[in-house]
Amino acid sequence: MGKHTGYIEYDREGPIERKPSERLNDWGEYLQTHSEDSMEKQGARCMDCATPFCHTGIQIGRSMIGCPTNNLIPEWNDLIYRGRWKEAFERLIKTNNFPEFTGRVCPAPCEGSCTAAINNSAVAIKSIERAIIEKGFSEGWITPNQPAIRTGKKVAVVGSGPAGLACADQLNKLGHLVTVFERSDRIGGLLMYGIPNMKLEKDIVERRVRLLEAEGIQFITNTEIGKDIQANELRESFDAVILCTGAQKPRDLSIKGRELKGIHFAMDYLTANTKSLLDSNLADRAYLSAEGKAVIVIGGGDTGADCIATALRHKCKSIVQFGKHPQLPIERTASNPWPEFPNTFSLDYAYEEASVQIGNDPREYSILTKRFVGDGDGYVKELHTVQIEKTTDQHGNTFIHEIPGSEKIWSADLVLIAIGFSGPEVEVLQAFALKQEKQQKMEAENDKYATNIEGVFIAGDVRRGQSLVVWAIREGREAALVCDKYMMSKIK
């Protein structure tokens, strides 16, 4: 364990954030890596709680508990408390291919199920993870390792998000020849063109891709499977195919006025901004600017928050975010006990920044957009809304009611729709003749990563729906094992 009395002696040190007034002027990461000294103290707070939940990654009741990649958290907490960073690093990379991503963007379900968090504050697990992997890079402990033996089996991974990358990494380590196909111009999936630079700088993604390349993985960009290369052609050229194509089909808002100009999907806004930033530091103007505009983001989730942070950096005139749910409670409720992930109110980076730049938290709760109204020239001018409330009957069925008299008109000249994703794009799945469930999740016949087509596997958001980077990594790792078993069973 860490220090016997560590959790009594030391307070939790939260993430180190750059000041909003400073970071709003650039696109750099808002979080920073802690010093070794401070992390050793934070590791000491881990109290060897006998049955730790932080690393479990299991379902209890309706909730997933702990780290989905089963990171060996109590072990590395103890090791860094003792200054044994190299061993902590070795433990960390046993279970997580890309701690430099999760150490930055993971919502840290591990911390929600940390025993210290029952009546105190959780061990700073995510910050420790980031500090360990960054020390691994700076000390030169991470070097490309080609596998000693090649099996001669060839596998195609379609899609280069965290699921595809984790899958490719595992299969390459097992000695297979891996080619990753990506339709975009850069590798990384939503790590590259979804999560904004302020949360994950893109040279962190490229650093890992270079390493994977040096270890023998081949990356082919600007190539859409099912269009540039046909599914059959791919199946004939490779011993197995793993589809890690994500679930990026946006959910739309089919209400009056949706066709007006100035209404865009959040992902189009975020993707174009990152591409322009990387291509030309925004000099090419090949992005949708929010500069001087009254912006409304529809959708109360994290993608909406990322739009807010981006629009603030564009120097928007005003910004509001509509969410359909009420404000979350400050403390856990009885229906959301430890060790579940705490569904409580928090001030995400974007809201903190909005408070500094425009003077208020931009969130509006329990609000429903009824229609968009144009300015007569085809551009959006107004949103008409109503407040809503949820009620539950004696059978547990919930109903949404509009509150009479709560109608309101909001001015806007840029509207971003961030109400989630309806599932995977079906074209590539149809190209492989895969069966689909009603909710567009893929059917798995033999186990959860195999499909109805022999030698074709699926993993990541395409299988489980929009999720988290850490879940994509877990899925990629597990699917690689299933695929390896399949390919090796074919060796005579």
Ligand X SMILES: Cc1cc2nc3c(=O)[nH]c(=O)nc-3n(C[C@H](O)[C@H](O)[C@H](O)COP(=O)(O)OP(=O)(O)OC[C@H]3O[C@@H](n4cnc5c(N)ncnc54)[C@H](O)[C@@H]3O)c2cc1C
* Residue 400 structure tokens: 């949404």
Contacted entry of ligand X, ligand SF4, none for residue 225, CB cut-off 5 to 8 Å set by kind: ligand X
**Nearest distance, CB of residue 203 and ligand X, angstroms:** 17
Contact window for ligand X (CB under 6 A) among 239-247, 330-338, 399-407, 435-443: 239-247
| Pairwise CA distance, residues 200 & 206, whole Å | 11
Contact set for ligand X, span 259-298 (CB under 6 A) = 270
Contacted entry of ligand X, ligand SF4, none for residue 194, CB cut-off 5 to 8 Å set by kind: ligand X
Contacted entry of ligand SF4, ligand X, none for residue 162, CB cut-off 5 to 8 Å set by kind: ligand X
**Nearest distance, CB of residue 427 and ligand X, angstroms:** 7
**According to the binding rule CB under 6 A, does residue 423 interact with ligand X?**
no
How would you classify the pairing of strands 16-17 and 31-32?
Answer: antiparallel
Nearest to 105 by CA among 79, 127, 88: 127
Beta carbon nearer to ligand SF4, 92 or 178: 92
Contact set for ligand SF4, span 38-77 (CB under 6 A) = 67, 69, 71, 73
**According to the binding rule CB under 6 A, does residue 340 interact with ligand SF4?**
no
The total of other beta-carbon atoms located within 10 Å of residue 156's CB is 24
| Pairwise CA distance, residues 460 & 479, whole Å | 9
Beta carbon nearer to ligand X, 63 or 467: 467
Residues 6+ apart with CB under 8 A from 258: 252, 372
**Nearest distance, CB of residue 32 and ligand SF4, angstroms:** 16
The residue from 194, 216, 257, 339 that contacts ligand X (CB under 6 A) is 194
Beta carbon nearer to ligand X, 167 or 320: 167
Nearest to 106 by CA among 490, 470, 489: 470
Nearest to 180 by CA among 201, 206, 200, 160: 160
Contact set for ligand X, span 198-237 (CB under 6 A) = 199, 224-226
Contact window for ligand X (CB under 6 A) among 122-130, 161-169, 253-261, 432-440: 161-169
The residue from 159, 262, 299, 323 that contacts ligand X (CB under 6 A) is 159
Beta carbon nearer to ligand X, 349 or 372: 349
Contact set for ligand SF4, span 94-133 (CB under 6 A) = 96, 102, 106, 108-110, 125-126, 129
**Nearest distance, CB of residue 51 and ligand SF4, angstroms:** 17
| Pairwise CA distance, residues 199 & 102, whole Å | 11
The residue from 163, 174, 234, 295 that contacts ligand X (CB under 6 A) is 163
Backbone φ, ψ for residue 390 (5° rounding): -105, 135
Beta carbon nearer to ligand X, 162 or 257: 162
**According to the binding rule CB under 6 A, does residue 402 interact with ligand X?**
no
Contacted entry of ligand X, ligand SF4, none for residue 71, CB cut-off 5 to 8 Å set by kind: ligand SF4
**According to the binding rule CB under 6 A, does residue 244 interact with ligand X?**
yes
| Pairwise CA distance, residues 441 & 464, whole Å | 6
| Pairwise CA distance, residues 485 & 142, whole Å | 28
The residue from 162, 262, 300, 423 that contacts ligand X (CB under 6 A) is 162
The residue from 95, 197, 303, 369 that contacts ligand X (CB under 6 A) is 303
Which phi-psi region, left, alpha or beta, contains residue 180 (left: φ > 0; alpha: ψ -120 to 50)? beta
* Residue 198 structure tokens: 């302020």
The total of other beta-carbon atoms located within 10 Å of residue 132's CB is 26
**According to the binding rule CB under 6 A, does residue 470 interact with ligand SF4?**
yes
The residue from 55, 130, 183, 477 that contacts ligand X (CB under 6 A) is 183
Contacted entry of ligand X, ligand SF4, none for residue 73, CB cut-off 5 to 8 Å set by kind: ligand SF4
Nearest to 249 by CA among 233, 231, 267, 276: 267
Beta carbon nearer to ligand SF4, 47 or 106: 106
> Which residues are near ligand SF4 by CB under 6 A?
67, 69, 71, 73, 96, 102, 106, 108-110, 125-126, 129, 470
Residues engaged in binding ligand X (CB under 6 A): 105-106, 158-164, 181-184, 189-191, 194-195, 199, 224-226, 244-246, 248, 270, 302-303, 306, 428, 460-461, 466-470, 472
